[in-house]
Structure formats: structure tokens, C-alpha cells
């Protein structure tokens, strides 16, 4: 009877632990979705800031050109003086008397010059006032754009603080969720046994070939400049099986797909390395991150911030993708939005 009671208590305790762990997983997933949403908003905000900055630069350049034109009135002034010195606005009688003392050729030449300068002065005056109007319009646009830029900057700062807060919440809940200890042990063994990157990735591959009708959602892990394409191998480690990115500012690296982190640690001279697998046969490899926000055994969502990357000259992000063990060009699989 005592044995049965102990078994029942163990079963109830085990069921309670499973239910508790499941609730934690649901909470964790909700928090992760929130981080993905906030990070996507940050990316959108950044793109909007870039566009506003381009418009600001264009309008500032226009303003400089207009100011230079308006300030440089010497030519217009000289032509007005020429017309006044030639007594263009004298009365009809004076002009007739003066014309009698001049040859017809001189009269024609002077008349042509007068007409040319008068037309040019009229055009210059019109342009001058038009440019003043344009300058006022550009000033108004610049004021609005600057205000918009400042607002977007404030929003960006708020969202970054929100994201940092959510990432801390994720980390706190993640510690309470039970992870695959066997996976962690395997990662430790791989770190010691693997001679190179290829060995590391191959050892983490599943034996059977996975075929799924459901396509994986795969996205670029960072918003940055592509400095080395698939097959080029221009990055610091001479790797050519993936893409190499350079970021202009300190930013987050996100998971390229939904999956499980099978390796998240330093590896030889590569520094921090993250390997993520999904259940559809894809494995992604990321190298070059400053510090990691996840660990081996964690479940990650596509677009979830998993690390930070620096904008220093030496910092580059390498992104490799394998499908059922075969190296593929990441661009051929990345989801087109």
C-alpha cells in the first residue's frame, strides 16, 4: 500500500513539474514573440530614419546651392548698373539726340546689348525672388523633417530600452525552463573533438534525411552591408560557404529560423559560434558575434535577438546555411518579404 502511495505521489509530482514546465514554455514563447515584434519595429524605425536622413541631406544641399546663388548678386548688379549708366530710362527726346551722333551700326549694337541685358536682368530678378520662395519652402521642409527625425530617434531609444527589458525577462524565464541536458553535453564534446568548422557542423547533423512539405521561414540574421557573397570567402577566416556582413552600428543578431540551438560557445579561433537546427533539415551557422544572449538547448524563433554584434572594423558576421547536410547559398532560401 505504501509503495502504491509513493508511486502516486511521484506521478502527481512529476505531472505537476511537467505542467509547470509547460506553462513556463508558453510564457517564454510569448516573451520571445514580443522581442521579435519589438526588434522588427526597431528595424522599421531605422529604415525610416535612413530615409529621413537622405531627405535632410538633399534639402540641406539644395539650401546651400540656393544661398550661394542668392548671395552672389555681383553679376546681376553689374548688369543693372550697365543699364543705368547707359541711361536706358532717359526720355525719348534725349535718346533721339544721342542717336543722331552715333552710326547705325553702333545704334544696332547698343540696342541689341540693351535688350540682352534687360532680358537677362528681368530673368535674374525673377529667379532671385523665386529662389527666395524656394529657400523658404526648403526651410519649412527641413524644420518638419528635423522634428520627425528627433521623434523617430526618441521612439528608437524607447524601443531599444523595451527590447533590452524583454531580453532580460526572456533570460530569467529561460533559466527556469528545463532544457535538453544531453544536447549540452554533446556540444561540450563537439567543442573538444571537432578539428574544424566542418567537423563541428557534420557532427551535429542528424543521421536521417529529413523531408518536410512545410517550408522553413529563413531570414537574414542581421541588417548590414554584404561584404562577401556566397563562394567568395573574403572574410577574416577565409570562409567561402556563406555570407559575410558588416554592420554600421552596434546591433542585434537574430535567429535566421525557428529551431533549437545545438551549439552556442566559442570555437577555436572563430570566437563565438552559434549553430541552430530546425525540424525540416536546415542548420544555420553564425560566427562573429560580440556576446551571446542564448545558450545550447534553447528554442529560438525566427527574428529573435540571440546575440549582439559590434560595428568595429574587425567585426564581421558570417552566416552559413546547410540543408540536409549540404551547404547551400543562404540567399536562395531566405524568405522574400
CATH of the domain at 250: 2.70.70.10
Contact status, residue 244 vs residue 235, Cβ threshold 8 Å: yes
Q: Which residue has the higher pLDDT, 115 or 37?
A: 37
Q: Does residue 193 share a domain with residue 161?
A: no
Q: How far, rounded to the nearest angstrom, does the alpha carbon of residue 132 sit from its chain's CA centroid?
A: 37
Beta bridge partners of 318: 244, 287
Q: Is the pLDDT of residue 37 over 70?
A: yes
Same domain, yes or no: 127 and 239: no
**Would you list the DSSP string of 16-84?**
HHHHHHHHHHHHHHHHHHHHHHHHHHHHHHHHHHHHHHHHHHHHHHHHHHHHHHHH--HHHHHHHHHHH
User: What is the average pLDDT across 167-174?
Assistant: 94
In this prediction, residues 55-59 reach a mean pLDDT of 83
147 domain residue, yes or no? yes
> Residue 315 falls within a domain, yes or no?
yes
- Using the predicted structure, report yes or no on whether residue 229 has a pLDDT greater than 60: yes
Q: Mapping DSSP to helix (H, G, I), strand (E, B) and coil, where does residue 309 land?
A: strand
Last residue of a domain, one of 176, 196, 222: 176
Q: What are phi and psi of 252, to 5 degrees?
A: -95, 145
Which string of DSSP letters, residue by residue, matches 101-117?
TS-HHHHHHHHHHHHHH
- C-alpha to C-alpha distance for 231 and 175, rounded to whole angstroms: 39
pLDDT at site 89: 45
**How does residue 292 score in pLDDT terms, banded at 50, 70 and 90?**
very high
**What is the mean predicted confidence (pLDDT) over 6-32?**
74
Q: Do residue 169 and residue 110 come from a single domain? A: yes
Residues 128, 92 share a domain: yes
> Does residue 337 fall inside a structural domain?
no
Q: What is the dihedral of CA 63, 66, 68, 72, to 10 degrees?
A: -160
Is the confidence at residue 91, as pLDDT, over 80? no
Residues 66-80, mean pLDDT to the nearest whole number: 58
Domain that holds residue 327: 181-332
Give the Cα separation of 133 and 193 in Å (integer): 73
User: What distance in Å separates the CA atoms of residue 314 and residue 309, rounded to the nearest whole number?
Assistant: 11
- Spell out the residues 6+ positions from residue 76 whose beta carbon is closer than 8 angstroms to its own: 121, 124, 125, 128
pLDDT, tens digit (0-9, with 9 covering 90-100), for 117-157: 556 555 655 566 566 677 778 788 888 888 999 999 999 99
Do 260 and 156 have their domain in common? Answer: no
Q: What's the number of domains the chain is made of?
A: 2
User: CA nearest 235: which of 316, 175, 161, 180?
Assistant: 316
The 10s digit of each residue's pLDDT in 305-327 is: 999 998 886 789 999 999 998 99
Amino acid at each position: 500500500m505504501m509503495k502504491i502511495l509513493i508511486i502516486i505521489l511521484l506521478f502527481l509530482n512529476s505531472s505537476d513539474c511537467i505542467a509547470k514546465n509547460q506553462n513556463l514554455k508558453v510564457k517564454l514563447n510569448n516573451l520571445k514573440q514580443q522581442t521579435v515584434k519589438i526588434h522588427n519595429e526597431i528595424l522599421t524605425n531605422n529604415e525610416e530614419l535612413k530615409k529621413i536622413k537622405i531627405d535632410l541631406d538633399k534639402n540641406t544641399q539644395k539650401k546651400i546651392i540656393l544661398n550661394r546663388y542668392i548671395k552672389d548678386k555681383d553679376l546681376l548688379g553689374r548688369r543693372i548698373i550697365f543699364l543705368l549708366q547707359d541711361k536706358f530710362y532717359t526720355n525719348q527726346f534725349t535718346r533721339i539726340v544721342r542717336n543722331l551722333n552715333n552710326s547705325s551700326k553702333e545704334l544696332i549694337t547698343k540696342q541689341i546689348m540693351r535688350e540682352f541685358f534687360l532680358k537677362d536682368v528681368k530673368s535674374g530678378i525673377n529667379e532671385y525672388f523665386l529662389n527666395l520662395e524656394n529657400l523658404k519652402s526648403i526651410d519649412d521642409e527641413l524644420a518638419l523633417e528635423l522634428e520627425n527625425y528627433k521623434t523617430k530617434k526618441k521612439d528608437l531609444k524607447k524601443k531599444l530600452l523595451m527590447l533590452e527589458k524583454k531580453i532580460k525577462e526572456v533570460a530569467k524565464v529561460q533559466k527556469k525552463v528545463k532544457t535538453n541536458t544531453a544536447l549540452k553535453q554533446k556540444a561540450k564534446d563537439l567543442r573538444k573533438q571537432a578539428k574544424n568548422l566542418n567537423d563541428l557542423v557534420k557532427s551535429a547533423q542528424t543521421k536521417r534525411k529529413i523531408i518536410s512539405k512545410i517550408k522553413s521561414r529563413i531570414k537574414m540574421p542581421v541588417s548590414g552591408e554584404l561584404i562577401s557573397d556566397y563562394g567568395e570567402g573574403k572574410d577574416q577566416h577565409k570562409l567561402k560557404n556563406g555570407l559575410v556582413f558588416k554592420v554600421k552600428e552596434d546591433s542585434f543578431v537574430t535567429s535566421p529560423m525557428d529551431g533549437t540551438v545545438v551549439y552556442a560557445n566559442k570555437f577555436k579561433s572563430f570566437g563565438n559560434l552559434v549553430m541552430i537546427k530546425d525540424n525540416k533539415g536546415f542548420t544555420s551557422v553564425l560566427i562573429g558575434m560580440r556576446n551571446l544572449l542564448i545558450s545550447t538547448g534553447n528554442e529560438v524563433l525566427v527574428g529573435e535577438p540571440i546575440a549582439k554584434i559590434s560595428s568595429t572594423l574587425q567585426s564581421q558576421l558570417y552566416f552559413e546555411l546547410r540543408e540536409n547536410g549540404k551547404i547551400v547559398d543562404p540567399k536562395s532560401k531566405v524568405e522574400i518579404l
